[in-house]
Structure 1
Amino acid sequence: MAREYYDPRGKVILITGAARGIGLAAAKRLSARGAKLALVGLEPELLQAEAAALGGDAAWFHADVTDRDALRDAVESAVTRFGGIDVAIANAGISPVGTVRTLPDDAFERTVAVNLIGVWNTLRATMNPVIERQGYLLTIASLSAPGPAPLMGPYTATKAAAENLTRAMQQEIAHTGTKAGVAYFGFIDTDLVRTGFSHEATQKMQANQPGKLFKPVPVSQAAKAIEQGIERRAQTVVAPWWVRPALLGRGLFEFTFARNGNDPAVAEAVRIADATPWAPSEPADAVSKTPA
């Protein structure tokens, strides 16, 4: 059976969290392939500048993914501008650093709002236009979905929920000829990851874990994975490469992280995070894709 090839050229691709980070890198790569881009995000000046740089086949729309009405308006405007949507990428996300014990409630609630409700809003708003074209819906999750670790409980919880939401939808829309996928990324070198890694507690965790796990890879790797995922309308998209075997060994991965609780270095990292929790400032476009 021949492998599917879904050519991005001429396709209308909507990306949330598109002003920077993974969203912007993917937009640039897909634009170079001849795709038409609808950039959605919270930073209008950046969005306008990036859309202008991409040229006439790119447009920008200001919307918070947690604002259902604003996001629907953005999607409707994109449909009006381009005549439809072939691919939608639910990419916007945030990642506070802290423990369940002391992270502020509002940081948890905002993470749920962006990373889970925002995905729900994005999929709901774009689903009908994408189904009309038998296209592709992609949710950017994380290796943290199967591999939770200390200090990032809200992030891991929302990424696991977004993963399962998309897997359920995947089955529900299969009969329409439309496909859906989940992207599992390790640490990607974005603004938010760099800021999160500057936290003393995170640095303590880094010192305790295998170097490959915590070493950020260039954002270009995530963008390339998204491009290739669209070409296959893939069920699973990964970056870097070693994430795929990690997914195959989910049980072992979970067991490894479960042992963290008995490690003195992890206990010290938790103590630091309890004393100094950190939550990213808005906007939520600086997307962090982390394995934990």
Structure 2
Amino acid sequence: MRDSPLTDRTVVVTGAARGLGAALARELARRHARIALLGHEQAALDAVAATLPTPSLALEADITDPAALHTAARTIRARLGPPSVVIANAGIAQAGPIESADPHAWRRVIEVNLTGSAFTAQAFLPDLLHTRGYHLQIASTAALGAVPMMSAYCASKAGAEAFTHALRAETAHRGVAVGIAYLNWLDTDMLRDLHTHPSLQEPRRLLPPPARRLLPASRAAARLARAVEQRRTAVYLPAWTRLAQPARALLPPLVTRLARARRRHRPPGPPLTQTGPLGPGGLADQTRAFRRDTP
């Protein structure tokens, strides 16, 4: 840790109030980085910042609001120095059939996970160009193989993957490194009600047993922190998920076949319904978006 290339560097983590974002903040601070935490919940951000052993700054900001992000970037630059690393971690999810999805809730997943990630990169790109820094996009194995009941989430993560590749191509000649992390199911607050939502259990049951396991957020954070130090182009967690990359052309027909077989043999029961925003972070985003859109 003493020899980490992150020592005395400023690192920005979005979605840092809880879950993977909070775990990343703690892991990167152990590597002596200065941490800027962005998210919706100021009190939760402050609580995470209070646990960090290095200088930190907690700022409430909506990543779908470009003006708020640019204001945060100026504040971070002035108080902690220009960021050398930006981790676009903020994300929300919901599950349920597309036929009953609320259009506004469906669109919000796209706005946060895709548009918000792009706005994050745009706001901090001047700093990364100045520091010849590193941008890490937190994506998902959902970008490699879409599953039923999570259309908005899968579409947003596939879009975030494409955006990351475009950003890398745009900035490589200017010294900025860009990476993407493909994460499988993580044991975070977002999935705390995993077993109570049939619409969330449905896509998970299509996976082989090893792929259903929840990876602890602390373990994922430690692996991602090493990837940040190495400026990795791609990170797969767990490591075996790398196998999905060369097989991704085969995944859509396979998932369709498995889903068809499962629904055919599914016992009669009530139709699958919407989960609503998953976890406290999703609820906080819903509340923030409601306040913003209410006259």
**1:88-127 matched pairs, under 5 angstroms:** 88-127=86-125
Out of 154-163 and 245-254, give the one that drifted further.
245-254
Moved more, 31-40 or 187-196: 187-196
Residue from 2, 24, 44 that aligns with 1:46:
44
Secondary structure (helix, strand or coil) at the match of 1:282 reads helix
Q: Which residue of 2 aligns with 1:233?
A: 231
1:278 paired residue among 275, 284, 287: 275
Percent identity, please: 34
The C-alpha deviation readout for 1:124-160, integer Å capped at 9, x for no partner, is 0011101100000011110000110000000000100
Other-structure match for 1:218: 216
Runs of 4+ in 1 over 4 A off after TM superposition: 266-269
CA contact (8 A) 1:31 1:54 kept: yes
Contact 1:97–1:279 (8 Å) recurs in 2: yes
TM-score, normalising length: structure 1: 0.89
Q: Which amino acid aligns with 1:157?
A: A
Query: Is the contact made by 1:204 and 1:265 (CA closer than 8 Å) also made in structure 2?
Result: no
Structure number with greater CO (CA < 8 Å, separation at least 6) is 1
The answer to whether 1:28 aligns with 2:26 is: yes
1:153 aligns with 2:151: yes
Aligned to 1:10: 8
Distance 1:12 1:21 in 2: 21
Separation of aligned partners in 1, 2:123 and 2:4: 22
Q: What is the RMSD computed on CA atoms of the aligned residues?
A: 2.2
- TM-score of the two chains, using structure 2 as the length reference: 0.89
Aligned AA for 2:273?
T
Output one character per residue of 1:42-77: Cα deviation in whole Å (capped at 9) or x when no partner. Answer: 110011111122145111111011121112111111
Deviates more, 1:205-214 or 1:57-66: 205-214
Contact 2:149 2:202 in 1 (8 A): no
Single out whichever of 254-263 and 98-107 deviates more from structure 2.
254-263
Residue of structure 2 equivalent to 1:182: 180
1:145–1:159 contact (8 Å) kept in structure 2 = yes
SS, match of residue 98 in structure 2: coil
Could you list the runs of 5+ residues in structure 2 that have no partner in the other structure?
287-295
Q: Give the 3 Å change call, closer, same or farther, for CA 259–86 of structure 1 in structure 2.
A: same
Q: Name the CA distance, whole Å, in 1 between partners of 2:142 and 2:79.
A: 36
CA distance in 1, matches of 2:190, 2:245: 24
Q: Could you say what secondary structure the match of 1:250 adopts?
A: coil
Secondary structure of residue in 1 paired with 2:215 = coil
Counterpart of 1:105, as a letter, is: P
SS in 1 for 2:245: helix
Alpha-carbon separation, structure 1, partners of 2:107 and 2:73: 25
**Counterpart in the other structure of 1:61:** 59
Shift of 1:205: 4.1
State the partner residue of 1:288.
Answer: none
Pick from 187, 190, 193 the counterpart of residue 192 of structure 1: 190
Contact 2:25 / 2:35 at 8 angstroms: preserved in 1? yes
